[in-house]
Each structure stands twice: as structure tokens, then as C-alpha cells.
């Protein structure tokens, strides 16, 4: 793209107020925005091989938020999700040639860097003048995307940035006046002024009209019901876990949506889309006791046929656990996930966690199990200071704690996380990559096929959701891989093993997609 030229009257940054009076409103010939999610080729964060998306497909929450903002201003746009629709860069090139596309935006994380950069290279070669944008946590390392052909990397939140990008594409805004982006000028990195974090209550509600909610599921949640979707009630996390990028992205600040704002979205999900299950994706759900009690009471009063799950911290509700879990269950909660990460005190200290969290996590899981709430936890192997003994200690903890479900992951050092610094990365794990992979599989097998754990899960499913067993039979090979019985190399959706439909078949992208 040619970034030369300077407007005489620069526009002010887009915010909730200026969004209502955007110069884009009612303007013709603006062009379409394409929002693209490509499925990972390989990842340490999932087992089960190429069929992983037959059992776990989550809608891209950032895209439906951007979609809501674009819809508010009247910008035509599409969402392409490779976990649900079969497409490659040739389809994107075709759409750009056949339609007036203002810009193409890719979501990226560390696990997607190779695939996204490959798409960028091929699209840039075919369409030298097309505006290409990347956004998401992966842009903390932006240079590879810019070198591959991206014009702009968006840092942080994308809602208001998406409008500024449209204004830039329409010739109404200078590039340097788009806040919180990175681009190249004369092969040098340029980063613009940071953007003020948005008031979440003032953002338009996510627009799910461009996705088929019936295509998404999470069979690892055995309580899951369809139609299913994801939500957030907050952004940010107050903790500083060194393996996580949240401290970098959100600087430990938490922004909470109001109870009324969250319930407005739930009302839409139930009435418009018939949603039966919500997976809340907050880093940590319900940090405020007052907020959570109010939310649960108002949701309970609605009497919806709705269940939900959330992510908790081992220290959540430490002085009011029974009371808070009772409120949450009455409001439809039936699953919690708790990230314990390690049961070794020294390893926990190395990742800015506290020794007490292990037992607090144990107590929280037992309180939830006593209320017939499905429990899950996650352990990371390969953390700073990890040895065979410390990993065994974590495995022993999960067997003693006996949550219904436990996942073991090999550490991936995320770009922009505290571990991605010489100071934090000075303490090494003593095991090789191959040894860690073996430990992931060994721990997964040992946990899932412990007689008490296995029996506990079978009884829970039969009592609470026996229909899950019939669905599981249809994707048995993938589930077997997730359980650790098969060696896998991560997910790789392609032309021979494409994204699944609800019937287990594949839906190619034919002649375009849903449009708003």
C-alpha cells in the first residue's frame, strides 16, 4: 500500500461518542471488510490430531465484537472461520477480485504465525495493492507479519480500530492517526499513539448474524448443550502469571461490564439464537462478589433454559466458596475450569504464583464436586524449574484432587509474556522437548484411565447428560487422541480433512459467505 499523503483536517480518535456520528455512515462505495480466522496447523495446546475441530469449535469472540461495531456504522463485512468453512487463500483472493474489499483482517496468536504469514505472502503476491491487516495477541511480535505482506498490525482492542481502518481505506484518515497500530515506513517500524481502553458497556453488543451458532461446540465440556456460544463479562486479569500475555496486554487492569449490559446480551442470545449453553471466557470470572451475586440473582429470575461454565482462579471466593457456588449453580452454572498449572512450590514461585494456590485449588474443586458441578483443571509441563519429580508431583496432585477432567500441556513461551524476557527465562526446565511430550502423554493417560477418575466421569455423564455419549461415539477417534491413547501432531484442517459440520461432513466455501 502507498502510505503517502497527509490530510489537512485529521479526524479525532474513534470512541463511543464519535462512533454515533461517524463520517462513514450513509457513505456509498466504502467496500467490504473481510475478517479471517485460519485454523492452526500445529499447536502444543491441543491433542487429538487433525479432527480436533470435530469436538471443539469456539466462535471467534473478537470478530463478533468487531462485527457489532462495523454493523453499527453500516459497513458491509464478512467473517470466514476455517474451523467451520473450507477455504484457502485462493478463495480470499477471488472474493477480493470479485468484490470491492476495503481491507482484509486476520486474527493471529503465536500458534498461527506460520499459517497467517503464508496466507499473507500469497495474497500479497496476487494482490499487491490490497490492504492487509493483522490483529490479536500474536501482534505482540508484529515484524514477521509485516515482512510477510501485512500493511498494519493492530495492537490491543480492535473495535474502534476497525472503524479507523475503514476511514483510512476511504481516504478520510491518515495512517498515523489510527491509534495503537504498527506499520513499516522505509522498512522501519512505526508505532502510533496508544488507544484509551474502551468502556465495555459502551461497545455495541457482539453481532453473531454472520456466523452459524449451530456449527460450534465443545465436547470436552460433557455438560455442553447446543446451540452453544462464548461470552465475556470483563477484560483483563489482576494476576501476573509469567507464562501469560495478559499482564502485557491489559497491564493488570480489569474492566467489568455492568450486570445489566451482560444480561442484555444474554437476552439476545436466548431470544434470537436459542442459545442453551454459554462458555464465559473471562480470564477470571466473577472477581467482584457484589457483581456476581447480582448477576446470578437476575439471571435466575429470568428462568431461562440455559447453562454455563466459567474460569476461576484457585483463590476465587476463598472466604465465601459455598455461598458463591450455590448462587452460581442456581443461576445455571454446571462447569468450572481452574488453572492450577503446577503443584510444586518452587515452580509456582518461578511463574509468579503462590504456594498456597495448590491447596486452595483442591478445596475449590471439592466444594464444586459436592454440588455436582463439573470440574476441570490444567497443568503445564516444562515450566521454569520443572523436573521429572516436579511434574510427577503435579500429576499426583490431580489424582488426589480428582477433578472430572484434567489437561496437561507443554509450555509454549508466548511472545510478549514475562517468560519471553531474559530475566524471567533464566531459570530453565531440565527436560528436553521430546521428554516433555512424553510426559504430556503419560500424565494424560495416567489421569484419564485412573479407575476412580474414569468411574467418576462415567457416573457424572450418565446422571447429567447421557446424550453426550451418543455424540462422542461419532467423533471417537479424535476423543481417543485427546485422552492420550494416540500420538498426534496437532490439528491440521486441509482439503482432505476439512472443518466439520454438525453432521461430521464438510462445508466448502461456495460463492461467498453470509454478509451483513
Does position 514 have pLDDT exceeding 90, yes or no? no
Rounded CA gap, 89 and 97, in Å? 12
Please say if the pLDDT value at position 499 is more than 50: no
Average pLDDT over residues 263-275: 98
Half-sphere exposure of 34 (CA within 13 A, CB side): 26
- Cβ atoms of 306 and 298 within 8 Å: the answer is no
**Which grid coordinates are listed for 509?**
466455501
What pLDDT does 472 receive?
80
Query: pLDDT tens-digit profile of 104-132?
Result: 999 999 889 999 999 999 999 999 999 99
Nearest to 84 by CA among 56, 107, 112, 105: 56
SS3 34: strand
Q: What is the CATH number of domain 220-474?
A: 3.80.30.20
| Whole-number Cα distances in Å, 258 to 93, 229, 231, 292, 503 | 41, 20, 14, 10, 38
- Cβ 172 vs Cβ 11: under 8 Å: yes
b (16+ CB within 10 A) / e for 2-12: eeeeeeeeebe
Domain covering 16-191: architecture: 3-Layer(aba) Sandwich (3.40)
Work out the pLDDT band at 13, boundaries 50, 70, 90. confident
Read off the pLDDT of residues 394-431 as tens digits, 9 standing for 90 and up.
999 999 999 999 999 999 888 888 888 877 667 888 89
CA distances from 146 to 116, 120, 125, 134, 377 (A): 11, 9, 14, 9, 37
Q: Can you give the pLDDT at residue 14?
A: 86
Cell numbers describing residue 242? 509469567
- 10 Å Cβ neighbour count for 268? 15
Three cell numbers written together for 222: 460433557
DSSP state of 226: S
Cell of 286: 466473577
Q: What was the pLDDT predicted at 199?
A: 94
Q: Where are the domains of the chain?
A: 16-191, 220-474
Q: What is the pTM of this model?
A: 0.89
pLDDT mean over 196-206: 95
Closest CA to 37 of 79, 9, 71: 79
Q: Round to whole Å and give the CA distance between 84 and 120.
A: 21
Q: 16-191 with 220-474: one CATH topology?
A: no
CA 249 → CA 181, 349, 353, 418, distances in Å? 14, 22, 19, 11
Percentages helix, strand, coil for the chain (3-state, rounded to 5) are 40, 15, 45
Measured CA distances, 179 to 3, 99, 126, 403 (Å) = 16, 28, 29, 44
Q: What is the pLDDT of residues 292-311, one digit of tens each?
A: 999 999 999 999 999 999 99
- Rounded to an integer, what distance in angstroms lies between the CA atom of residue 403 and that of residue 410? 20
Distance CA 484, CA 462 (A): 22
Beta strand segments in 59-210, E: 77-81, 101-107, 132-135, 152-154, 181-185, 188-191
Gap between the Cα atoms of 394 and 341, Å rounded: 8
Amino acid at each position: 500500500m502507498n502510505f503517502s499523503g497527509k490530510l489537512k483536517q485529521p479526524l479525532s480518535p474513534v470512541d463511543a461518542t464519535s462512533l454515533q456520528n461517524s463520517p462513514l455512515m450513509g457513505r456509498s462505495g466504502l467496500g467490504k471488510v473481510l475478517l479471517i480466522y485460519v485454523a492452526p496447523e500445529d499447536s502444543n495446546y491441543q491433542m487429538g490430531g487433525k479432527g480436533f475441530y470435530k469436538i471443539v469449535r469456539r466462535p471467534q469472540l473478537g470478530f463478533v465484537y468487531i462485527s457489532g461495531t462495523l454493523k453499527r456504522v453500516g459497513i458491509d463485512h464478512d467473517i470466514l472461520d476455517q474451523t467451520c468453512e473450507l477455504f484457502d487463500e485462493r478463495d480470499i483472493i477471488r472474493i477480493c477480485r470479485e468484490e470491492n474489499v476495503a481491507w482484509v483482517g486476520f486474527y493471529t496468536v503465536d500458534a498461527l504465525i506460520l499459517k497467517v504469514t503464508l496466507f499473507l505472502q500469497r495474497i500479497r503476491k496476487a494482490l499487491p495493492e490490497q490492504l492487509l491487516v493483522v490483529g490479536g495477541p500474536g501482534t505482540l511480535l508484529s515484524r514477521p507479519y509485516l515482512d510477510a505482506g501485512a500493511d498494519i498490525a493492530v495492537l490491543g482492542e480492535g473495535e474502534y480500530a476497525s472503524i479507523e481502518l475503514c476511514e483510512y481505506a476511504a481516504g478520510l484518515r491518515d495512517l498515523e492517526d489510527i491509534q495503537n497500530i504498527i506499520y513499516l515506513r522505509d522498512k522501519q517500524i512505526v508505532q502510533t499513539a496508544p488507544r484509551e481502553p474502551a468502556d465495555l458497556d459502551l461497545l455495541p453488543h457482539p453481532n453473531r448474524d454472520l456466523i452459524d451458532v449451530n456449527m460450534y461446540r465443545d465436547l470436552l465440556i460433557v455438560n455442553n448443550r447446543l446451540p452453544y456460544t462464548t461470552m465475556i463479562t470483563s477484560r483483563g486479569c489482576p494476576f501476573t502469571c509469567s507464562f501469560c500475555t495478559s499482564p502485557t496486554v491489559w497491564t493488570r487492569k480489569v474492566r467489568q461490564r455492568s450486570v445489566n449490559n451482560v444480561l442484555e446480551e444474554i437476552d439476545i442470545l436466548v431470544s434470537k439464537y436459542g442459545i442453551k449453553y454459554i462458555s464465559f471466557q473471562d480470564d477470571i470470572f466473577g472477581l467482584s462478589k457484589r457483581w456476581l451475586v447480582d448477576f446470578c440473582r437476575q439471571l435466575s429470575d429470568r428462568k431461562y433454559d440455559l447453562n454455563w461454565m466459567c474460569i476461576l482462579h484457585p483463590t476465587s471466593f476463598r472466604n465465601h466458596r459455598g455461598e458463591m457456588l450455590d448462587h452460581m449453580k442456581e443461576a445455571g452454572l454446571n462447569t468450572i475450569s481452574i488453572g492450577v498449572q503446577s503443584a510444586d512450590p518452587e515452580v509456582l514461585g518461578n511463574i509468579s504464583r503462590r504456594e498456597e494456590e495448590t491447596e486452595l485449588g483442591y478445596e475449590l474443586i471439592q466444594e464444586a464436586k459436592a454440588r455436582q458441578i463439573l470440574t476441570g483443571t490444567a497443568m503445564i509441563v516444562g515450566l521454569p524449574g520443572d523436573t521429572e519429580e516436579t511434574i510427577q508431583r503435579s500429576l499426583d496432585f490431580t489424582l488426589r484432587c480428582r477433578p472430572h477432567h484434567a489437561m496437561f500441556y507443554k509450555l509454549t513461551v508466548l511472545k510478549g509474556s514475562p517468560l519471553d524476557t531474559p530475566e524471567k527465562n533464566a531459570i530453565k526446565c531440565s527436560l528436553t522437548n521430546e521428554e516433555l511430550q512424553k510426559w504430556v502423554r503419560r500424565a494424560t493417560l495416567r489421569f484419564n484411565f485412573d479407575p476412580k477418575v474414569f468411574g467418576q466421569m462415567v457416573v457424572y455423564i450418565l446422571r447429567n447428560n447421557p446424550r453426550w455419549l451418543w455424540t462422542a461415539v461419532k467423533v471417537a477417534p479424535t476423543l481417543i487422541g485427546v485422552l492420550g491413547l494416540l500420538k498426534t501432531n496437532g490439528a491440521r484442517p486441509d482439503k482432505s480433512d476439512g472443518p466439520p459440520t454438525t453432521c461430521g461432513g464438510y462445508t466448502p466455501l461456495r460463492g461467498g459467505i453470509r454478509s451483513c
